[in-house]
Structure 1
Amino acid sequence: MASSKRWVNLICSIAFSIYFVIIIFQVPIFSVPCRIGICKTPLEVTSSQLIASEVFPVFIVKALLYPGAIAKAIIHWKPFPSFGNLLDRHKLNARPVSAASDLQRLEVIAGSYLSVGGAINGLIKPGRMSLLGMLLLMWGLIREVIMGHAKSVHIYPAMYIAVASAFFSIKKDVRKIVHSFAREEVVKVKRH
């Protein structure tokens, strides 16, 4: 029993770590038109919405974007960006977009909010918010393709990794899976 509990904790912590890195360090998981042109991460969609709505102070949005900007600088061997002109670098001050275009991609926006919120909330306790956000994002992107906007919408392979890691970060579900495998092993041993 203690062994299966360790497996559950290990699987959940590794899965959440993968999910957190994908979301917070802005690994591209899709490509969809948004306020800043083309958004490739849930954090870009969320940040562009937060800047436009002026609900949160700008420094909070910059704090969310900064880890991804540092990661991109390291990957491309460039100097670290300054915190001051981070919004210009992400083109978040660039162009206003009508509310009608935002309503067309409501699932993508809501899924992005939930994905980012799930990554931040998961630092305390991983839960279903991450999975719900990723599933909503997937549905929104698939709906865009079905509606005929396939030229401007792409889903990258990292999206599937993000969905799987969001699922495996939920302890209750992983516990059920591990216990079902443990029961199968006990049945096999008793048969022999």
Structure 2
Amino acid sequence: MADTSSGSFGDWRHRASHFYLLLIFFSFPLFSVPCPKGLCSTPVEVVTVHLVSKGINDAIAKALLYPGALFTKLESIVAENEPISLPDWDTLLDNITASLKDKEQNDRTFGLGLIIGSYLCLAGAIACVLGPTPLSAFGPLLILWSIYYEGGDLKDCYALPMFSVAVFCALSGISLSAKVPRGTNHSATSGDSLSNDEKSKPSSSNKKTK
């Protein structure tokens, strides 16, 4: 008989990992941290600002930003009755590039833990396409440590409520179940071995016959 409890738990883990992917790539606000852009609120923003500041090809940065811009545009269409349209590809980086040219804003740098954690969030979200993976947990936990470490000195550095949902979904990639042999199978195996031993022994009646 199939174990329905373990099956439902596995289904839940898959749903949570897919929801984590959506949270990351559709750029739901998870935290607030000072950055060269001013304030960054998603791992995608942190990675994009870091890539642009290092002179990486703009097409890569725009590709990372586009899903979040698409979701924001859809939200505006539904909530504010804006005309149906797609985000403008050419202007996706205007806000970031303008901020990086501002010396006062550009002096606000990232912590190393936040940068590494954001890259790990993206890597974990990509891996979640194939299902739950322990890789998804490293990024949010590292960002959480970075916010805790730097939040005492920076009033603009804190986690938003949605961050707890992201951590919860990310931890679903860690499987706590272990495969334990069933007692019935063990007893059946031992019973079979005993019956085989009895068959191998010569019967007492055969010993008495001459």
Give the TM-score range, shorter chain: 0.7 to 0.9
In the alignment, the residues of structure 1 paired with residue 149 and residue 11 of structure 2 have an alpha-carbon distance, to the nearest angstrom, of: 35
Q: Secondary structure at the match of 1:152?
A: coil
Task: Find out whether 1:60 has 2:80 as its counterpart.
Answer: no
Q: Which moved more, 1:161-170 or 1:121-130?
A: 121-130
- TM-score norm. by structure 1 comes to 0.79
Q: What aligned pairs does 1:67-82 form with structure 2 within 5 A after superposition? A: 67-77=67-77, 78=82, 79-82=85-88
In the alignment, the residues of structure 2 paired with residue 53 and residue 63 of structure 1 have an alpha-carbon distance, to the nearest angstrom, of: 16
Q: CA RMSD for the aligned pairs?
A: 2.1
Partner of 2:162: 158
Q: Secondary structure at the match of 1:123?
A: helix
Q: Quick check: which has more Rg, 1 or 2?
A: 2
Give the gaps of 5 or more residues in structure 2.
181-210
Partner of 1:189: none
Q: Of 168, 173, 180, which residue of structure 1 is paired with 2:172?
A: 168
In the alignment, the residues of structure 1 paired with residue 89 and residue 65 of structure 2 have an alpha-carbon distance, to the nearest angstrom, of: 9
In the alignment, the residues of structure 1 paired with residue 5 and residue 59 of structure 2 have an alpha-carbon distance, to the nearest angstrom, of: 43
Question: Given residue 116 of structure 1, which amino acid in structure 2 is its aligned partner?
Answer: L
Task: Find out whether 1:106 has 2:112 as its counterpart.
Answer: yes
Does structure 2 retain, via aligned residues, the 8 Å contact 1:31–1:154? yes
Does structure 2 retain, via aligned residues, the 8 Å contact 1:11–1:169? no
Q: Secondary structure at the match of 1:101?
A: coil
Partner of 1:48: 49
Q: Deviations over 1:79-113 (max 9, x none)?
A: 4211121111xx22121535x833xx111111111
Does structure 1 retain, via aligned residues, the 8 Å contact 2:25–2:64? yes
Q: What aligned pairs does 1:80-119 form with structure 2 within 5 A after superposition? A: 80-88=86-94, 91-94=95-98, 95=100, 97=106, 101-102=109-110, 105-119=111-125
Partner of 2:203: none
Percent of pairs identical after alignment? Answer: 32
Question: Given residue 157 of structure 2, which amino acid in structure 1 is its aligned partner?
Answer: V
In the alignment, the residues of structure 2 paired with residue 129 and residue 65 of structure 1 have an alpha-carbon distance, to the nearest angstrom, of: 22
Using the TM superposition, give the Cα deviation of residue 2 of structure 1 relative to its aligned residue in structure 2, in angstroms.
4.4
Q: What aligned pairs does 1:137-156 form with structure 2 within 5 A after superposition? A: 137-146=143-152, 148-149=153-154, 151-156=155-160
Q: Secondary structure at the match of 1:28?
A: coil
In the alignment, the residues of structure 2 paired with residue 137 and residue 23 of structure 1 have an alpha-carbon distance, to the nearest angstrom, of: 13
Using the TM superposition, give the Cα deviation of residue 22 of structure 1 relative to its aligned residue in structure 2, in angstroms.
1.0
In the alignment, the residues of structure 2 paired with residue 154 and residue 101 of structure 1 have an alpha-carbon distance, to the nearest angstrom, of: 16
Using the TM superposition, give the Cα deviation of residue 69 of structure 1 relative to its aligned residue in structure 2, in angstroms.
0.2
Question: Given residue 50 of structure 1, which amino acid in structure 2 is its aligned partner?
Answer: L
In the alignment, the residues of structure 2 paired with residue 48 and residue 129 of structure 1 have an alpha-carbon distance, to the nearest angstrom, of: 23
Does structure 1 retain, via aligned residues, the 8 Å contact 2:18–2:128? no
Task: Count matched residues.
Answer: 168
Partner of 1:183: none
Using the TM superposition, give the Cα deviation of residue 5 of structure 1 relative to its aligned residue in structure 2, in angstroms.
4.4
Q: Select the structure with the greater relative contact order (CA < 8 A; seq sep ≥ 6).
A: 1
Label 1:154 to 1:66 Cα distance change in 2 as closer, same or farther (>3 A).
same
In the alignment, the residues of structure 2 paired with residue 124 and residue 83 of structure 1 have an alpha-carbon distance, to the nearest angstrom, of: 29
Does structure 1 retain, via aligned residues, the 8 Å contact 2:135–2:173? no
In the alignment, the residues of structure 1 paired with residue 47 and residue 134 of structure 2 have an alpha-carbon distance, to the nearest angstrom, of: 19
